[in-house]
């Protein structure tokens, strides 16, 4: 029995495009097939852009064209993202991006906090602001049933730590 995929809303499709834009900008592997599928999802969801149909219609043999077309679509939609050029600022931007995904439920808390711990906090010298998220990563990574706390509770703690981290950024930015 075939499984039907729910059609994305326009906002969900734009969010997916933005997510992929950030992932590419932060040098995470994003396959051409993912870019083409995101283009198709966006087209079906009613997103309009001059290059979107070309991206969505690429054949397997045309996959090498996908990254450039994807960037063109992002530019047309105003979604092109460039991380800060300063390496430390780029790592902080990545931390906020990952924390945002943890907080909104689009990224598994264990995966997100581990990424912040291993790929961000380490490079930044384990700053105090990231300590709660790193602590959550340690707990989720080493969890044992004997602890008397469920993985779900640890996940909730990680989501809360991500929200706290994001709220401190908002306060800091409002004050500057």
Tens of pLDDT along 117-134?
A: 999 999 999 999 999 999
Cα–Cα distance for residue pair 47/10, rounded to 1 Å: 6
User: Which residue in 134, 92, 142 sits closest to 114, CA to CA?
Assistant: 134
What per-residue confidence (pLDDT) applies to 7?
80
What per-residue confidence (pLDDT) applies to 170?
55
Q: Which residues of the chain have pLDDT under 70?
A: 1-5, 170-176
CB of 64 within 8 A of CB of 32?
yes
CB of 107 within 8 A of CB of 101?
yes
Instruction: State CA 132 to chain mean position distance.
Output: 19
Cα–Cα distance for residue pair 116/37, rounded to 1 Å: 27
What per-residue confidence (pLDDT) applies to 3?
62
What per-residue confidence (pLDDT) applies to 174?
46
**Angle at alpha carbon of residue 32, lines to 1 and 52, rounded to 5°:** 90
Whole-model pTM: value is 0.79
């Amino acid at each position: 029995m075939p499984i039907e995929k729910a059609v994305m809303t326009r906002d969900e499709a734009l969010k997916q495009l933005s997510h992929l834009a950030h992932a590419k900008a932060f040098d995470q592997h994003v396959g051409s097939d993912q870019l083409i599928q995101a283009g198709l999802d966006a087209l079906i969801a009613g997103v309009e852009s001059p290059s979107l149909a070309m991206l969505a219609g690429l054949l397997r043999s045309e996959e090498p064209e996908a990254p450039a077309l994807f960037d063109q679509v992002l530019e047309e939609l105003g979604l092109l993202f460039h991380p800060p050029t300063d390496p430390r600022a780029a790592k902080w931007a990545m931390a906020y991006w990952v924390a945002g995904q943890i907080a909104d439920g689009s990224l598994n808390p264990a995966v997100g906090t581990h990424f912040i711990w291993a790929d961000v906090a380490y490079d930044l010298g384990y700053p105090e602001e990231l300590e709660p998220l790193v602590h959550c990563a340690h707990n989720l990574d080493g969890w044992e049933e004997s602890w008397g706390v469920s993985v779900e509770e640890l996940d909730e703690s990680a989501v809360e730590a991500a929200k706290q981290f994001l709220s401190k950024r908002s306060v800091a930015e409002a004050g500057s």
